[in-house]
Structure 1
Amino acid sequence: MPTDNLPTEKLDIGWRRPVTDAELVELTTSHGGNAEPGWWDRIRNHSLGWVTARSESGHLLGFVNVAWDGGDHAFLIDTKTRPSHQRGGLGTAVVRRAVEETRAAGCEWVFVDFEPHLEQFYLESCGFRPTAAGLIHLTDE
């Protein structure tokens, strides 16, 4: 996995390593996202796994969760990178590790949904291909 653009500090990118709800809330709010305390504690058991990226000091810099259907299909959700480490290859490295681990777990497919401004990241940097999909926003009236 090329990491030429990663920050010069030593990073620990790990699969299913401990991460707390408070750390994920803080990471989410660091880039302007909305985070509800307790969400990670509620959904962790529905995950195939997750990837964390930490600095040498242990500070959480990146994260992605891999949900799954218990069979062949996995779904990347909650991809997050601390603003100080965006556009340097860390997000790509975290997603690639998630894809590798999902393949190793025996899944055949990994899906990701994203907003249009993230198309270059997921399609060009991470290697996903576009597909047709449908969506119903359940809170729309």
Structure 2
Amino acid sequence: MTEATTPTLEWRGAFTNAELNALHAECFEHRLLDDDWWGQVNRHSLGWVCMRHNGLLTGFVNVAWDGGVHAFLLDTMVTGALRRHGLATRLVREAAQQTRQSACEWLHVDFDPHLKDFYFNACGFTPTDAGLIRLR
């Protein structure tokens, strides 16, 4: 990837449901869905970061919010062709920087064990005690 083709990031960037559903299906390895991402993030999120490369949506991260001081990082995604270039780290850092500028005091994330090095070492999260109840 050359400097001229470096993907761009945009806080609260525009996207279509079709392109985000396609990216989510690729990144989380499930069938293509028809979710209303645009409605969801506009109702429940502090913001989100869109990454575009050559006009295509190639990355995304959502910052959900409790309306108070807690924000929650969800759905960090980078298309397969652009992985292992530090772009997911750029997405998370942009989300953290934008969240810092809000009234939020905390940015939470949970993740599968294989992502521990990414979130702790590359992105700067620290381990905490947490609890989880599996509902389904």
Normalised by the length of structure 1, the TM-score is: 0.88
Higher relative contact order (CA 8 A, sep 6+): 1
**Counterparts of residues 2-81 of structure 1 (less than 5 Å):** 7-8=1-2, 9-34=5-30, 36-44=33-41, 45-55=43-53, 57-81=54-78
Q: Distance in 2 between matches of 1:109 and 1:62?
A: 23
Of residues 85-94 and 20-29 in structure 1, the stretch that sits farther from structure 2 once superposed is 20-29
1:41 Cα deviation after fit: 3.7
Tell me the equivalent position of 2:102: 105
**Pair 1:82-2:79 in alignment:** yes
Amino acid aligned to 2:52:
R
> Unmatched 5+ residue regions in structure 2?
none
Q: Distance in 2 between matches of 1:23 and 1:43?
A: 15
1:11 Cα deviation after fit: 1.6
1:28 Cα deviation after fit: 1.6
Normalised by the length of structure 2, the TM-score is: 0.91
Question: Structure 1 or 2: larger helix share?
Answer: 2
1:39 Cα deviation after fit: 4.0
Q: Distance in 2 between matches of 1:138 and 1:23?
A: 29
Say how many residue pairs are matched: 132
For residues 54-86 of structure 1, the C-alpha deviation after alignment (integer angstroms, 9 at most, x for no partner) is: 01x210111000001111100000111101111
Large movers: runs of 4+ above 3 Å: none
Q: Distance in 2 between matches of 1:58 and 1:41?
A: 18
CA root-mean-square deviation? 1.3
Identity among equivalent pairs (%) = 48
Q: Distance in 2 between matches of 1:13 and 1:41?
A: 17
1:30 Cα deviation after fit: 2.2
> Unmatched 5+ residue regions in structure 1?
1-6
